[in-house]
Amino acid sequence: MTENRTERWQARPSLNVARGGLIGTTTGTTYAIGGFTSGFGAGLDSVERLDPAGGHWRLIAPMPTARGNPAAATVRGDVYVLGGYAGDKTLDVVEILDGDRWRTGRPLPGARGGAAAAAIGDRLYVVGGFDAADNATTAVSVYDVHDDAWHDAHPMRTSRGLLKAEVLDGHLYAIGGTVDVQVFQATVERYDPAADRWHTVAPLHTGRGNPGVAAAGGRRIFVVGGASADGPLRTTEVYDPRADRWRTLDPLLPVGRASFSAAVHDDLLVAFGGFELTAGTPTASSRVEALRI
């Protein structure tokens, strides 16, 4: 089902640094963290914070460890950045942004790149990703900030990396992803932390890897762009958990993008960074666009 709308994506102030394979996190404040300038080249250590009033991005203290395709989530106002890649090396490194300062956290139980992360209460969930042998995994690792310890939760049903995760109504959703460069997942799973169980819910209309994903008002999840076998996508899908249904929104991104991040501010869905195709070559982007939702 396609929803026809009169709104269109509008250009916003650009990032200071073009970056694909970045991660964004939002709990009142939106950050653009790390990434690559090209392919799986040297990772970036730079971090930008969005000023929601003016819409401008400000460079803040860089990460101690440069990396691309990490996972990130916010717990108690601290931003946890987990794993990722330094070139072709898979990392287990965890670093925590507390205000404008970084500190080192307890490492992941194993190195992982292209995982997804989300927080429920004082627990941080890291799902999927690629291990040090470059195998897509179903693993779910849980960090409890009180115990400063990791433990394993029930694994996902589907192996995948370059997925995204969001939380609605106390449940974690694992969305899309890829097994390799040829297989892009439409699968969506919902995790119940009280029961420690995963359930398969309605799939995306289009399989996609490393899309932008953001939740709005505790009622909807937006999935924007991402990689496909045909190249970066321009489409946006929105999920209604009550109906267990996805709808495709009519406005297309001006340019197909993958490996970027998304956030919701008030009534705006904001997409930032990523890789675009230029003459068939992935090019890191500083592009920022917003859609009124």
Q: What confidence category does residue 54 fall into, taking pLDDT thresholds of 50, 70 and 90?
A: confident
Please compute the mean of the pLDDT values over residues 120-125 and round it to a whole number. Answer: 97
* pLDDT tens digit sequence for 195-254: 999 999 999 999 999 999 999 988 999 999 999 999 999 999 999 999 999 999 989 999
Give the pLDDT score at 85: 96
What gap in Å lies between CA 69 and CA 67, rounded to an integer?
7
Q: What confidence category does residue 286 fall into, taking pLDDT thresholds of 50, 70 and 90?
A: very high
Give the pLDDT score at 88: 85
Domain residue extents for the chain: 2-292
**Residue 271 scores a pLDDT above 90:** yes
**Residue 190 scores a pLDDT above 80:** yes
Give the pLDDT score at 116: 98
pTM summary value: 0.95
**Residue 6 scores a pLDDT above 80:** no
**Residue 84 scores a pLDDT above 80:** yes
Give the residue, 42 or 43, on which the prediction is more confident.
43
What gap in Å lies between CA 224 and CA 227, rounded to an integer?
10
Considering the chain, what is the average pLDDT of its residues?
A: 94
Q: Report the Cα 205 to chain-centroid distance in Å.
A: 19
Q: Which residue has the tokens 């090019």?
A: 283
Give the pLDDT score at 217: 83
What gap in Å lies between CA 271 and CA 291, rounded to an integer?
9
Q: What confidence category does residue 2 fall into, taking pLDDT thresholds of 50, 70 and 90?
A: low
Residue type, 172: L
Give the pLDDT score at 5: 54
What gap in Å lies between CA 220 and CA 175, rounded to an integer?
13
Strand 71-75 to 78-82 pairing: antiparallel
Q: Of all residues in the chain, what percent carry a pLDDT higher than 90?
A: 85
Q: What confidence category does residue 163 fall into, taking pLDDT thresholds of 50, 70 and 90?
A: very high
Q: What confidence category does residue 1 fall into, taking pLDDT thresholds of 50, 70 and 90?
A: low
- Residues 6 or more apart whose Cβ sits within 8 Å of residue 143: 80, 106, 123, 124, 126, 149, 150
| DSSP category for residue 293 | -
What gap in Å lies between CA 72 and CA 24, rounded to an integer?
7
CATH of the domain spanning 2-292:
2.120.10.80
Give the pLDDT score at 263: 95
